[in-house]
Chain A
Amino acid sequence: MTVLAAALLFTSCNDYLNEKPKGKKIPATLADYEAFLRDEYDVHRMDVGQSAYLLNDRYLTNSNASYYPMYAANYNWDTSVDRVYYNNSDETTYYAAYSGINYCNLVIENAPTATEAADAQKNEVVAYAKVLRTMHYFLLANYYANTYQSGSAAETLSVPLITSSEVGASYTQVTVKQIYDFMINDLTEAIPYLPDMGTTILHPGKGAAYAMLARIYLQMMDYTNALEYADKALAINDKLIDWNEFYKANKSVIDSESSAQTSQTPLGFNCVESYNFNDGSSSSGARINNMPQWRAKMFEDGDIYFKCNWKLYTVGSETYYRGITTGTINYNGMRTVEQYLIKAECLARDNQLTEAMNVLNTVRKHTVSTDKYESLRASSVSEAIEYIRREKDNLLIYSIVPFADARRYNAEGIYTRVLSKEKDGKTVTLSPSSYMWTFPFPLGAIKNAGNGSITQNVAK
C-alpha cells in the first residue's frame, strides 16, 4: 500500500514541487527584461571618485585622507604611495560599471527570445542596453587604461571586454583600439532602432547615442565626426539649464549665510539638459560633492552656477566649499551642455573661432550671472580651448568628461596643464606625463578574476 502510494506520489509530485517563489520571478517576457534597465543601483551607477580627487574637484577631509592612503595619494599627487597595493578601498568604479555591463549583457542576450513582444520592441530594448553598455565601457577605458592614441591604440591593453551574463562567462582584456571599435560598432548598430528620446530618462535614445558618439570621436581626436554627432544630438535636444532662473527661484537658500539648507538640484531626473540619466557612485540623493578652495578659483568671476551649488564652510579646522544642492544628480548621463562644448571645441580646432565662441557664449549666458555677463572672444585656438575647457571642467564636474579631456590634452601634448597646489607649506604638482593619470584596477578584480585574466595597466 505504502509502496504504491509512494510510486504515485513520485510521478505526480513534479508539479507539486515546481512551486515557484512568490515576490520574485524567473524573467520571461520582454517587460521582465526591460525592467532591468530601470534598476538604477545595478545599471546606472557610474563612479569617478578617484579622478575627482586627482583633479581636486572634490574635497578630501583630513580624516578621510588618513583613513584611505590611496585617496590621499591621488589627492596630493603623492608618488610614494603604491596605489596598486592600497586599491582595495575603491572598487565602486569597476564593480558598478561591470554590474551595469552584466545587466546590459543579460538584456542583449535574452530580449530577442523574450515573450510577449514584437521584434521592433525587442530591438529597441536591445539597443538601449547597447548604449548603456557603451557608456560603462567608455568610463572604464578612460579610467583604468591609456587614452586613445591612434599610433598605439592597437598595441596598448585596455580593459576586460565581457559580452555574456552567464555564470563563469569568459572575457578578454582587449586593446584600446578594440574597445573603441566595439563601442562605435554597438552604437552604430543601436541607432536605427532607437527613438529620439528613450521610453524614460533611464533609457538612452538616439540623442544619447549621438551624444555618446560625439564624446567617443572627440576622445579619439576625430573632430569631424565629433562635430557631426554633436550637431545630431543637439538637433534632438538643445535646451540648457538657466542657472540665473534657478538662482532667482532659490535665492533665500543660496544667499543665506548658513549652508545648512539646500535647494533641490535642477540636475535631477527632470533635468532639461539630459538625453539620459546616470547616477554617480550612489543611486540615492545627497548633497553635491564638496570642493577644495583652490579649485573654486578656477570658476570665472560671476559664475552663478557655482554660487547656486557651493558655499564656503568651516567646520573644526577645515574650510572648503560645501555642496548646497541636493538630490539624485545626473552626474554621468549625456547632457546637451557637453554637446555644445564639444561642438565649440571642434569648431575652434577647425579655426572657426567666432563660431566656437558663439557656441560657448550661448552656454555662458545660462551659467554666468546676468549682471556680470560679457561675451568672450578668442584670438587664438589655444585661447578658445582655454575658455571652452574651463567651462567644460566646471559644468561636467564629477563626470568622466573633465578627466578624459585632461588625458586627451596630455596625450596630444599641446594644451597640457600642470596641476599645482600648496600642501603643508610645500608646492606639489601633477605633471601631464605622470603615471597617476591611469588608475590601477582594484585588487578584488585582479585576484578574483573569474574566467579570464587581467593585467594592471599602471605600475603603482
Chain B
Amino acid sequence: MWLITVTLCFATPTLHAEGLQPKNLVTLSLHGESMASALKIVQKQSGWKILYVVDDVKGYTVDANISNATVEEAVAKILSGKPFTYSVKGNFISIAYKATKKQDKTETVVNRLRQISGVIIDESGETLIGASVNVPGSPYGTITGTDGRYELLIPENCNDVQVSYVGMHTSMVKVGRNENINFVMTADHTTIDEVVVTGYQTLSKERSTGSFSKITAEDLQSKRMNTISSLLEGEVAGYNNGLIRGVTTMNATKTPLYVIDGFPVENTKMGAYGSLEEGLPDINVDDIESITVLKDAAAASIYGARAANGVIVITTKHKTSKSNKTDVSFSTTLTWRPYKMYTGNMADSKLVVDLEKEWASQNTNLSGNNAASYAQNLLDYKVYPSAGITSILNYYAGNTSQSDMEQTLTSLSSKGYNYYDQMAKYAKRDPLYQQYNLGIVSNTGKNMFKTDVTYRHDANEDKYSGNQWLGLNLANTTQFTKWLSLDMGAYMKFSQDNAQGYDVMSPGYSVLPYDDLVNSDGSNYTKAQNSYLSTETVNLIKKYGLYNLDITPLDELNLNTTVTKGFNVRAYARLNIELTSWLKYSASFQYERSSYKYEQIADKQSIATRNRVDNFAYDKNGSAVYAIPYGNIFNRRDQYVRTLNFRQQLDFNKTFGNVHNVVAILGTETRDTKIDMHRSQMFNYDTDMLSSGTVDETSLVSGFTGILGNYSYLQTTDLNASYENTNRFVSVYGNASYTYDDRYTVTGSLRWDRSNLWGTSSKFQNKPTWSLGAGWIISKEKWFDAPWVNYLKLRVSDGIGGNVSKDSAPYLVASYYTNYNVGGKYGYVSSRPNSKLSWEKTNTFNVGVDFAVLGNRLNGTLEYYNKKGTDLLASTMGVPTEGYGYSTYTINNGEMNNRGFEVSLKGLILHSQDWRISANTTFGYNKNRVTYVNVKAPVYYLALDYASAYPTIGYEYNAIFGYKWAGLSSNGLPQVYDQKGEITSHQPTNLESLQYQGTTVPKYNGSLGAEISYKNFDLNILFTYAGGHIMRNVNPAFLTCSYSRLGYITNIASASSALAGRWQKAGDEAYTNVPRAIFAESGYSASELYNVYYYSSQNILDADYLKLSNISLSYHIPVSVCRKLSMQNARVQVNVENPCMWTHTDQAKYQLGGYNATNYMVGLFLNF
C-alpha cells in the first residue's frame, strides 16, 4: 500500500505565515542518519519549513558535516548525490523527487505515461505549497512547489489522481484527458489546526489554555439535524444527558448556558403556576456551523455568574467561499417512527385473571355468612370495577352461576394484550417528521447576506398531537470602510404545538389488558357510568338529571386538545470599529421577544367537562344548579419573555518583537430578562361567538356542598392568575493572554456580576469570577525530537464560575391573594429573609493534553478536572418550632465535588484511493461527591422518596438509598435487614437501616464512532454507552394499592408481568425473590410490605447500557452529475436511529428507553 505522506513535521496554523522565524545558521554532523531526520534537524535549527514526501526519502541515508551553513547550503549538502531537487520560497524549502529516475525504474511495468500539471489552491485562492498529488496504488506522485504548481507523469490509462494536504480534505480528482488540472482544496476542520469561539472572542486553539470541544457541521453530517442535545450526544467527552461534567448544583439551574452568535440565549419559560423552566434555545439546527463546548474555568468563567455548568457556544453559517458568489443549499429529511408499545413488563390478561381469582380466594370476607352482602356492597360501590372481579363478585352475590363466572373468566384470560393492541390500531399512528431547510449566502465583497429557512412538521403518535414550526434566520454583514463594519441579524420562529389532552392509557377508569376500545361489531366501546361509578352516584345523576358520565375513549381523543402558538424574535446589531490594526471596539445589542399563546379547550362533550360540571352542581329546592355552566371549558395562558443584552467591548491583539503576542478583551454587559404570564379560565365558552358564561367566583372559591356529596371549590388561581419575574445583571469582564514564541501561553480572566437577584446591599454582590491558565506546546520546543509526534500541548487552568437560582430573594417576601371566605386579602410568606443569598461558586481545576501523532493520523485530547462547588444552594428543612416544619428553603451552604477525566481520540485507520476508514471515540468518567450539606432527612421516608433533597455527605448527589434485601420469608413476604442487621418484614424506620445503593447518574459514558467511505459512499456508525449507575425498577413485582372509599384497595390493572413468578406455596422462597401477591384485604399491611420490597436492593436495576445510536449511509452524487445540474455537490442519506440497545435486564432496557421505536430517516442534501 502506497500511503500518502506529506509530512509537515510541525502542524502550523498556516503555511502562509512568513518571516516569523529568524534565519538561523545550521551546524550538524551526520553519519548514516536517515534523510528524514537529517532534514528535521535542519528544520529545527533553522526555523524553516522543509516539505518532502516521506516515502520518497525513505531508504536514503546521509553522511555529512555541516557547520554554520545557511539552510539552503545544508539542504543542498544533504541532497547531494541523491535523486532530489529542491526549491525555495520564503521560509519554505520543497524537496522533490527527480521523477526521471523513478520513471526509468517503472517504465518496464507501465507502457506509456503522460504528463499532467496544474495549480492547487485553497478556498481563499491561496496557492498550496507542498500539497501531494499522486496516483493511488502506484509509485507516481509529486508535491506542489512554492508557486503551488505541480507536474506529474501518470500512466496513460489513469483517470483519477488523489490530492492531499495537511488540514485539507483529501480528494480524488477526475483527470479525464485533460493535461492541465487545477484544483481547489477545502479545509478539514477536524484537525487540531483550528480556532475556538467563546462568544466574546475567537481564539487560536493553540493559544488557548482552556478545555474546549468543538464540533463542526461536517462532523454532524451523519446525524439527523434534530435537537442540539441529540447532535451533541456521543460527540463531546463529558457531555451526557444535557449536562456537562455531571451535576454541579443542587437547586440552581443544572443546564449549561447556551450562546448563539456571541449572545447568551436562554429559553426560560414559566410553567402553568409561575415556576421557571429552562429549555433548549430556539435555533435552526441545520444552520449550525459549529458548536464549541466550554468545559473548564479558563474557557467558561468569562461568563461569570452563569458559567458553572459549562457553556455551549453555537455559531451559525454565514461564510461563503468567495467574494461575489452566492451559495444555495437545500435539504430535506423525512423520518418515520413505526409506533411500538412495549408490553413485556405488564401482566397479560391471563396473569390478571389469575391474580383476580387469587384476590377472591385470599379475601376472607368472601367466605362465611356475610359473603353475599359483602360482594353486593363492593358491586354497588364499584370498589373493584374490573370485568374479572365484577364477574367473581356477581357469583358470590348470587347474581350469576359459577359456570357463568368461569366462562367469563376464561374468555377474559384469553385476550392477551387486547387493550394495547386495539390502542395501537385505533388510537395511535406512526409518527412522521418532515424537515426542510433552505440556506442562501451571498457575498458581494463589501456585503455578506445570509438567510436560512427551516420548516418542520411533526406528526406524533397521538392522532391529535403534532407540531410545526418555521424558523427564519437573516444575517447581514456590511464592511463600510476598512475600519468600520456592521453585523445585523434576526431570527424568527413561528410555531404551533398541538397536544392531545386525552390519554388512552388512563381513559378515566382503570384499564385492564382484556378491556376493549372497540366492540366486536366495530363500533367504539363505551364505558357506561354504572360500570365504574357507585350505584348511589348514578342514582343521583339520574335523579337530578345531571350530565351522564359514560366514557367512549375513541370519541374523546380530540375533545381536550391544547394548542400552543409561539412567536419568537431575536434581533441583534453589532458595530465593529477597528481603531488600529491591534485595537478594536465593538458595541452590540440583542433584543429577544417571545410570546406564547396556550389554549386548551375541554369540549363540552368531553368527559373532563361533564365530570367537572356534575361535581360543581348543587341542590336548590330539589333540582340541580350548575355552578359551572355546562359548555366548553377554555383555559388560556399568555406568556411574554423579553430579554435585552447590551455589550461594549475592546479587543486588543498585538505581537511585539515577533515573539510576544498579547490578546486581551475588556467589556461591560447588561442583561435584563422579564417574563410575565397571565392565565385565565372561562366556562361555557363559545368558540364561534368567543363568549363565555358567567360564574359566581366568590362561591366557587369559597366552595359549597355538591349534589354528588363532595365539597367542591376552586383555587383562586384556577380562575385567573398573573405572574412576573425579572432578572437583571450588570457585569464588567476582561481577559488577557500572553504567548511567547507560539510555545508558552498564560491566560487570565476576571468578571464581576451584580444582579437584582441578590439585593444591592448584599456583600456577595462584588465577588468576582476569575480564571488563570497556562499552555505549553511541547512539540514546538527545539529539543523536542520525536518524529512521530506532530503536536503536543500541555495546558493547566484553574478558576471559578458561578451559577444562579433565578427565583430566590434575600428579603422577606410575601404573596397576597383575595380571601373569598371572609373578604379582603390574605398574605403568606413566600420566602423568608435570606440575607446570605449569593450565586453559587464552582472552582474548576483542569489539566489537559492535546496531541497529534503518526502524521496527524491520530489526534486527541486527555483531560483531568476537579470541580469543587461551594456556596451551593442546598435545601434545608425548616425548623418546625419556628413554624416552618413543612417548608424547605435554600441557603448557600452546600458543597460538592466532581472529579473526572475525559479522553477523545480521532484516528485515520486506512486511506486509499477508494477507501477511507476512520474512527473516533470519547470517554468521560465523573465521580460526584457531596462534601458538605447542613441538612439531614428528618425521617426515613423523606430520605427514600426525596433522596436528592436530602443528600448525604460522602456520597453522590444523586445517590439513592434502600434496604438490604434478605430474601422471602417462609410465607412469601419480602424481607430486609434493619439497622441491627436483623431480618424483618416490617419497614425499618431508622435512618441507619438505609444502605447506599448507588447513584442514578452515570459514572462513565462515552461513544465509539466509525466512518467508512468507499468511493461515493459513506457509512457512519455511532455507539454510545454509559455505566456505573443504577435505577429503581418502576414496575416492581408487587401489587400497588390506592385509596378508595373502602380504604386501601389493590390495583391489579398495573400489575407487573414478573408476578407470574411469584411465591405461591411454601418452599417457593428457595428459588424466587418475587413475593406472594399481597392484596389490600389480605390482613397484611400491603402498603408497608410494598415499601419493604420497593425500597429494597432487590428492586434496584443496573443501568449500564450500550446503544447503537445512529447508523447513516450516504451516497455522494458524482461531481460530474452535479455539474450538469449546476450543483456543487449533492448527497442522499439514510439514517437509522437507536435500532439496538444492550442492557443487563429487559426492565432496565425499558426504563432507559431501549424499547422506544426506532427512527428511520431518508434525506436529500443539495448545495448549489
Contact = CB atoms under 8 A, between A and B. Distances in A.
B713 to A, nearest CB: 6
A80 interface: no
A286 B711 contact: yes
B884 A14 contact: no
A389 B1013 CA distance: 95
A62 B829 CA distance: 38
Contacts of B826: 35-36, 38-40
B: contact size bracket: 35 or more
Contacts of A27: 812, 814, 827
Interface stretch (A163-171, A185-193, A221-229, A373-381): A163-171
Closest 5 CB pairs of A and B: A102-B883, A63-B1047, A450-B879, A95-B885, A285-B711
Contact of A26 (B814, B1085, B1086): B814
A432 interface: no
Interface string A1-44: 11101100110011011110111111100011001101111100
A144 to B, nearest CB: 12
B883 A23 contact: no
A25 B814 contact: yes
B880 A444 contact: yes
B812 A327 contact: no
Interface string B700-735: 001111011111010000000011111010101000
B814 A445 contact: no
Contact of B622 (A101, A168, A252): A252
A1 B711 contact: no
A149 to B, nearest CB: 25
A260 B828 contact: no
Interface in A108-142: none
Contact of B703 (A39, A67, A252, A328): A328
Contacts, number: 274
Contacts of A449: 879, 881
Grouping DSSP codes into helix (H, G, I), strand (E, B) and loop, the A interface class, with mixed when no group exceeds half, is mixed
Nearest to B544: A261
Interface stretch (A239-247, A311-319, A334-342, A354-362): A311-319
Given A21-B725, A25-B813, A444-B939, A95 B880 contact: yes
Nearest to B364: A317
B881 A452 contact: yes
Contact of A167 (B383, B670, B756, B833): B833
A253 B619 contact: yes
Interface string A64-82: 1011000000000000000
Nearest to A97: B883
A372 interface: no
A394 interface: no
Given A14-B760, A328-B702, A444-B880, 17 more contacts: A1-B650, A2-B650, A17-B760, A21-B724, A22-B725, A35-B826, A42-B828, A42-B883, A66-B1088, A95-B885, A167-B832, A169-B882, A261-B540, A261-B708, A269-B702, A285-B711, A445-B885
Interface-centre pick from A317, A442, A447 (highest chain B CB count, 10 A): A317
Contacts of B709: 259-262, 287, 326
B881 A9 contact: no
Interface in B16-68: none
B813 A32 contact: no
Interface in B482-541: 534, 536-537, 539-540
B593 to A, nearest CB: 18
Contacts of A260: 534, 536-537, 539-540, 708-709
A427 interface: no
A316 B883 contact: no
Interface in B349-397: 365, 370, 374, 377-378, 381, 383
B784 interface: no
A98 B885 contact: yes
Interface string B560-581: 0000000000000000000000
A435 interface: no
29 contacts: A1-B648, A2-B668, A6-B732, A14-B760, A17-B760, A19-B726, A21-B725, A21-B809, A22-B725, A22-B726, A24-B815, A26-B814, A36-B826, A39-B827, A66-B1087, A94-B885, A102-B883, A171-B881, A260-B536, A260-B708, A260-B709, A269-B822, A284-B703, A316-B378, A326-B710, A447-B936, A448-B885, A450-B882, A454-B881
A455 interface: no
Contacts of B536: 258-260
Interface string A274-301: 0001000000111100000000000000
A225 B1018 CA distance: 97
B1048 interface: yes
B828 to A, nearest CB: 5
Contact of A98 (B809, B821, B882): B882
A241 B640 CA distance: 52
Given A162-B882, A286-B711, A62 B813 contact: no
Contacts of A66: 1084-1088
Given A2-B650, A61-B1047, A287 B711 contact: yes
A38 B824 contact: yes
B696 to A, nearest CB: 15
Contact of B1080 (A36, A63, A85, A259): A63
Contact of A95 (B732, B886, B989): B886
Contacts of B381: 315-316
Contacts of A180: none
Contacts of B668: 2, 5-6, 9
B938 interface: yes
B540 A315 contact: no
Interface-centre pick from A6, A10, A95 (highest chain B CB count, 10 A): A6
A27 B813 CA distance: 7
Contacts of A327: 703-705, 711
Contacts of A284: 703, 711, 713
Contacts of A405: none
B365 A316 contact: yes
Interface string B811-838: 1111110010111111111111110000
Contacts of A262: 705, 709-711
Interface string A137-169: 000000000000000000000001010010111
B424 to A, nearest CB: 37
A396 interface: no
A85 B755 CA distance: 47
A86 B986 CA distance: 13
A203 to B, nearest CB: 9
A352 to B, nearest CB: 39
Nearest to B940: A88
Contact of B711 (A5, A6, A315, A326): A326
B877 interface: yes
Contacts of A67: 1048, 1085, 1087-1088
Contacts of B939: 88, 443-444
Contacts of B881: 98, 160, 162, 171, 445, 449-450, 452, 454
Contacts of A99: 883-886
A9 B670 contact: yes
Contact of A91 (B754, B879, B885): B885
A458 interface: no
A103 interface: yes
A201 interface: yes
A36 B828 contact: yes
A100 interface: yes
Contacts of B378: 316
B591 interface: no
Contacts of B825: 31, 35, 38
A263 B622 CA distance: 12
A400 interface: no
A4 to B, nearest CB: 10
B941 interface: yes
B720 to A, nearest CB: 13
A220 interface: no
Interface in B652-681: 666-668, 670, 676
